[in-house]
Every structure is written in structure tokens, then in C-alpha cells.
Structure 1
């Protein structure tokens, strides 16, 4: 049932992009640029504009940041032990530190824990989007250009300014006219399917000979096993209700985020390696998530 109602629709979007790219051999960079600089900012603004700013969101922000820092430390230490260069370690970070909590995680939470759990998942998805627009962009750009230019690139990302503007509008109760709100919502809704299509298109460029299995196995272990264990340990230090704890741990066990593939394409940070990790961790997650959901009933 989970496969048919949640996983299969996502796979069909991937497949559509895959078939499109195999048929027409399109240039992916203009499409990823459109998604990063137009579609995603609209989605981020709309989400932050309508999400309540309360103590629950504070806990989600704190736990998400601590989990991100933990994953970065684990990944960088591992990369150093394996003598990875700057681009290799950045590509590995894109595959391990950011999870697919939106278009994959949120529907699974809805099915497993109902409407209340889904509201928690939406709040996490909101904050994860800004985490990726800051740290994801930094690591993607760092792999190609170095830390200095990477920091400048972060400040050029419109999604970050969309968050600030949305929070200010909500705090000061600024009402957006219905026609403008509908236009922003319309553009924002195109972001997630576009990202999924770009991932499928990038996967069409991956061949079995180009798969780096040692790195992929390493990324899969960190993303699917180490991440939920770290999340569970971090949750023990916060006074959160059991349902929110379950949602956080399950989302931490999600496969690599599809958005990171766009960043890898945009900044040429080994996009085939990053997209391959997204594919493999997504396939493996069918089994790991089933096991974890049974454990955390």
C-alpha cells in the first residue's frame, strides 16, 4: 500500500524526466537555474508566510541544526580518512547531510501518523528548505570555487531573502492581495515537480560504469542508518512529544534530497555522483524505512 500510494507516484515523476532526457538530450543547467532562482523562492515564501512561528518550530529548528552539524562532522571526518579532495568531500556532503523530507518524507509521515504527524512534517520541510538553500549551496559552490566565493554565492540565493520577507510579512500581519498570493502559489507549486524531473533527467546521464560504488555505499550508510540514529539521540535532549520525535527520526532516515542534484548541476560539483546517491538511497529506503516504521509504531 505504501509503495502504491506514496513511492510509486514519486518514481513515475523520476521516470518521466528520465525518458524525456533519453529522448531529447536537453541541457539541464537552464532548467535547474529556473528552479533555483524562480520556482523555489516562490515556494519558500509561500510556506514561511503561512507557517505559525511557535515553540514547536523552535524545537524543530534546533534539532534540525544539531543533526545537520552532526552529519557534516561525520561526513568530513570520513572524507578526510579516505583522502577525498575538496570537490569529492563536497559531493559526499550533498548526498549525506540533506534528506528528502518534502516530496518523499511528508507523504510517508501522513500515511504512517495521520494529519497531526503531517503538520510536524510540513514544519520540518519548511526549515529544511532554507537549510539547503544556505548550506547546500555553500557546499556545492565550495566544491567548484572555494569557500570565499561559496559564501558570496549563498548571499545571492533569492530563497534566503524570500524567507526573511515572508517572516516579516507574517510578523507584521501584512496582507497580500489574493491575486498576488495566487500567482506566488502557482509558481511555487511548480518547484517540487520540476526538481523531481531534473533528477530523473540527470539519472538518464548516469551509466553503470560511472557509478562509484564505494562512495555510494558510504553515503547510503550515513544517510539511511547513521542519520536516524543521530536524530534519535539528539531528540532525547529536548522536551518534545513522542509523535514529533517519531516524525523527526523517520524524516532523518529519508534518502538524499533531490534538490541537491540541482545544486550539483548548477555548480558542477560531481552531479553524476550526487544524483546516483539520490537514486540508490531512494531505492534502498524502501526497505530501511519499512523496518524503521515497524520499530517506531
Structure 2
């Protein structure tokens, strides 16, 4: 693995994302843009349309969808167990431990993962990463809420909350279209493609907008734990479970990269909503995002060989 390979991989795949994200960061600082409103547009409209568009055109076999979903769940649960074990050894207080737990478990599979995989491995890999993103999103909005609430919300309420996640309906609709062989009329197909094309740039801009709200934390051991599990444990877990589940080709590439992403921006919303350590969560998102090129660049080179 030469310096030239690393530099070219970084410049072609990560640098464009960093540049657009930096623009979002600067726009947020100078124009005081409301990132929450943009986030809601993405969550309720743009992201579901992107998911529908990718799945309705990909025609992924059910077995591959199941394997990718199992991979996403296995990586998240294993990341949680590693963080829990580390947090108990470090004797972290419960709010701090839970804050570290959610940032280690729930990665930035949408805003960061989707564009990176699209650049590095193309449309076929993007379809697989979309499935990973859907499972990750659903888990964040159910298990993530349960963990963050520390018992304030019962399991039934959390499960019902899953049905308020629009992407699940995009998945179901795409599944029905594929099952019955429905072909979108040209005007509808072009409209859907147009909206889907706007989603990834908006995701990257939102990443920058959200990062400009980050604050530092005094809990450095918890910060180090969550960032290590995300950036170092994630790739190892991705390699392990893709091998165990027999995942290969572009599905393997997409799955391992998604498993290796930095902490999700959505974790900051969970922390604020359920009175966790917001400074720790925000710092974890910021640090893991800034350090991620150091782990993702060599990973992309290795996976591309």
C-alpha cells in the first residue's frame, strides 16, 4: 500500500465529501441556518425517495437483503457489547456510559456512508449500503430510543415509533413494485430520480451543519472508548461478520465500509431528548468524523484490491 494509493483514494473518495461538508459547516457558522429543518426534510422526504429509487432499480435478491440486514444488526450489537464491557472496566457513570454506547453503536451510515460508497464502489454497492442504512435507521429509532431513555419509554412505544420512520414504507413499496414487476412511468421515474439525486448532496451539507454545533467534553476516556470502537472495532467487526455470513463482492465492500463509519449525527438528537451527556455525544461525533479518513482511506485501498 503506497502513499500514492492512499492519497489518490483519499482525494477521489473522501475529499469531495469533506469539501461539501466543510461548506455546510461554514454556511452554518455564517448564515445561522436551521439544520433541524433541513434534517426533517431529509428524514421525511428526500431519504425515503432515495431508498425507494435505489431499491426499485436494483432488484436485490431477498437473500442478499437479509444478509446485509443481519450484518448491520450484528455490527451494532457487537459494538454495543464492546463499549459496555469497556465502560464497566472504566467505571463510567450511567449517563456517560449510555452516551458512549449510542455513539459506538449507531454510525453515520446515511450522510457519510452512502456518498462514500457511491464514490468508491459505484451504484451496485450503493444499493447494498442503502439496505444497511435502512436497518441502521430503524434500529436507531427503536433500540436507540430504548437505550437513551433509560427506562422512560416502554418497548411497545419504541416499536410503534419504528412505524413513524418513513424509510420503512419506501422499502415496502419498492418491494411490492419489484415483486409484481411494476415499471414506473417515465414522468414518475424521472421525478423520483430527480429528488433522489438531491439527497446525497443535502446529506453531506447537513453533516457539516450539524458538526458546527459540536462542543468539547471532559470525559476523555469515554470519548476514546466510543471513537475506538467505531473507527477500529467497526472495520474488524465488518470483516468478521461478512465472512461468517458469506457476504462477498460489492455487498462485502459496502458492508465493511458502513460498519466502519463515524458516529451518527442523529445521536446528538437522542442525547438532547433523553438528557444524556450532550457534550460527550457531540464530541464523539466530531472526533470520529475528523479522524475517520485515517482509518477509511487504507480500508478503501484494501477493499479495492
TM value normalised by structure 2: 0.79
1:162 maps to: 170
- SS of 2:141 mapped into structure 1: helix
Task: Find the aligned partners of 2:209 and 2:228 in 1 and give their Cα distance.
Answer: 25
- Counterpart-to-counterpart distance in 2, 1:262 and 1:187: 25
Alignment deviations for residues 151-195 of structure 1 (CA, whole Å, 9 cap, x no partner): 222111111111111111111112222212222222223222223
Q: Are the counterparts in 1 of residues 109 and 133 from structure 2 also a CA contact under 8 Å? A: no
Correspondence 1:232 to 2:239 = yes
Question: What do the CA deviations read for 1:16-72 (whole angstroms, capped 9, x no partner)?
Answer: 121112112233322211111111111111122112232444433333332233223
- Structure 1 residue corresponding to 2:37, chosen from 30, 53, 62: 30
Secondary structure of the 1:190 match is helix
Which residue number corresponds to residue 197 of structure 2? Answer: 189
Instruction: Decide which of 32, 49, 59 is 2:56's aligned counterpart.
Output: 49
SS in 1 for 2:161: helix
Instruction: Give secondary structure in 1 for the equivalent of 2:231.
Output: helix
The 5 Å alignment of 1:38-117 reads: 38-54=45-61, 55-79=63-87, 82-85=91-94, 88=96, 91-101=99-109, 104-105=112-113
C-alpha RMSD of the superposition: 3.2
- Quote the residue 1:287 is aligned against: 294
CA distance in 2, matches of 1:181, 1:295: 36
| Match of residue 132, structure 2, among 115, 120, 128 | 128
Q: Specify whether residues 235 and 4 from structure 1 end up closer, same or farther in structure 2 by C-alpha distance, changes over 3 A only.
A: closer
- Under a length normalisation based on structure 1, what TM-score does the superposition of the two structures give? 0.80
Specify which of 172, 175, 186 is matched with residue 183 of structure 2: 175
Label 1:160 to 1:267 Cα distance change in 2 as closer, same or farther (>3 A): farther
- Tell me which residue corresponds to 2:12: 5
Contact 2:103 2:226 in 1 (8 A): yes
Contact 1:43–1:188 at 8 Å: present in 2 too? yes
Change in CA separation of 1:189 and 1:93 when aligned onto 2, cut-off 3 Å = farther
Q: Is the 8 A contact 2:271 2:281 kept in 1?
A: yes
Query: Counterparts of 2:136 and 2:287 in 1: how far apart (Å)?
Result: 20
Q: Which moved more, 1:32-41 or 1:134-143?
A: 134-143
* Deviations 1:125-165 (CA, angstroms, capped at 9, x unpaired): 11122113211122453425524433222111111111111
Verify the 8 A CA contact 2:262 2:288 in the aligned structure 1.
Answer: yes
Quote the residue 1:14 is aligned against.
Answer: 21
Partner in structure 2 of residue 141 of structure 1: 145
Gaps spanning 5+ residues in structure 1: where? none
Question: Is contact 1:93–1:139 with CA below 8 Å preserved after alignment?
Answer: no
